[in-house]
Structure 1
Amino acid sequence: MTHEGKDGQRPSRRTVLQRGAGVAAAGAATALTGPPAAAHPLPSPRSDALPEAVAGVRIPGSGPARQAVRLARRVSSETLFHHVMRTYVFGALLFDRRGVRYDRELAFVAAVLHDLGLVEEFRTPAERFEVDGADAARRFLERLGMPAERVEVVWDAIALHTSVGIATRKRPEIALVSVGSGLDFTGDGLERIPSDALDAVLTAFPRRGFKQEALDTVLSLCRTKPMAELMHPFAEVGRRHLPGFPVPTLEDLLLAAPFDE
């Protein structure tokens, strides 16, 4: 697919980037600070019982863990909620089998909250969904009183979870979210999950049309804030499915760079 202007010429780099400038300017304040804290009150206590363990993986039951589950359940579809839970269990299964030591509560909270940026309530007009999710999780955990250094680990885990080559070089709680979510999204590493463990995970947290819902969500992001997908893997989906998708490729950006050569 090419990205030509009305006159058939390749747009300049300035033109390409200015397409998203209006959206970026409109969303700058929200992207930096997020909505007011009162706009997203802490979920009220209610019975959201989870199993104590799935496939031999313990499900943390601390206060922050329970609050994270309540928030994720409140704002997510059942399919998305099951995905974030599978993310934790799959990541833990892989790491536990390798004997990796990690903070289980921190990894769990990060996994449960890692897709908040896909939820309408937490989307900003211009940021990548990973950053929207990380910012929403930070605001939420700060309101819970979680220590700043732990909040920053969760922020990094969420912001980096689609950048597997970076996340897996970070501390294990960050790596676990990337590895677990990647396994559930693409199946990468599935061969390392024993069949009985896989059955237990899919029984506890069934997929229920996850592939189609995920694709629909990606396309929604591409439609509503396309310039947030600049140099993001989601842009490939937008180019395939959305006629006239305005986001330039890396090649477009390179060749439009304002240098004489």
Structure 2
Amino acid sequence: MDKPAHRTLAGVVVPDTPIVDAAIEHARQHCAPYLFNHVVRSWLFAARLGQLQNVVHDEEVLAVGTLLHDITLNESFAGPRRFEVEGADLARHFAAERGFDRRRAQLIWDSVALNSTPSIALYKESEVALATAGICFDVIGLQYDVIPAAEVSRIVAEFPRMQIKRQFRRCFCHIASTRPETSYDNFIRDFGERFVEGYSAPSVVDLVDAAPFAE
């Protein structure tokens, strides 16, 4: 694979290719402003983590997977599957339509589908692991000390957080209240249990006990 052209965005060297530009625009069109800033910051943090830790990876796959990881995270989400899986299908289709082969498109699917499951994603291929690391960096501060503070400040200054904690809570609680069946095995369950009146998730203990076998 030819090495892509590069440019600098918020002080971070990133690939400058048509599909990356298309992914940025696609995210801009499908994400609320606060969420668009989040996916761009996540991408920049992911790219910088890869550079600082000398992680060999496909820069375009990392860009597309991270930029599109939240295209279904909004208050109009209607399922039927959890938002990460719905988004992963759309992101994979986006990449395949623009010429990515099956393997690269599948890496994007994994990056999106597993973006909120770091206990798995951080141990997958470098592109998936870096995407997850960048997202977790922006959401919960994972590996916060790896990137120099001045670089973090520049990225946040160019792509402000826009009250993301409050915005996330509202969005997650909306999904927990309107599509609870998509939340039982992911982090949205935590928001439902703490903030949504009447929210009740089934216990895996009950599911195992109720399995249709004698023992």
d(CA) in 1 for partners of 2:36 and 2:79? 23
Aligned-pair distance for 1:60? 2.2
Instruction: Decide which structure has the larger Cα Rg and report it.
Output: 1
2:18 to 52, 63, 68: 63
Is the counterpart of residue 83 in structure 1 residue 38 in structure 2?
yes
CA RMSD of aligned residues (A): 2.0
TM-score, length basis structure 2: 0.89
Aligned-pair distance for 1:168? 1.7
Aligned-pair distance for 1:258? 5.3
State the partner residue of 1:175: 129
Specify the code of the residue in structure 2 equivalent to 1:73.
R
Aligned-pair distance for 1:105? 1.2
Q: 1:245 to 1:252 in 2, by over 3 A?
A: farther
Q: 1:168 to 1:198 in 2, by over 3 A?
A: same
Matched ranges for 1:123-142 at <5 A: 123-142=77-96
2:70 to 98, 108, 115: 115
Aligned-pair distance for 1:141? 2.2
Aligned-pair distance for 1:180? 0.6
Aligned-pair distance for 1:73? 0.3
CA offsets 1:124-180 (integer angstroms, 9 cap, x no match): 532111101101112222332322221111011111111212212211111111111
d(CA) in 1 for partners of 2:29 and 2:139? 22
2:57 to 98, 102, 113: 102
Aligned-pair distance for 1:256? 4.4
Q: 1:120 to 1:150 in 2, by over 3 A?
A: farther
- Mean Cα deviation higher: 89-98 or 75-84: 89-98
CA contact (8 A) 1:117 1:131 kept: no
Q: Could you say what secondary structure the match of 2:94 adopts?
A: helix
Specify the code of the residue in structure 2 equivalent to 1:154.
I
CA contact (8 A) 1:88 1:180 kept: yes
CA offsets 1:185-235 (integer angstroms, 9 cap, x no match): 111211222111111111111101111111111111112210111222211
2:175 to 221, 228, 249: 221
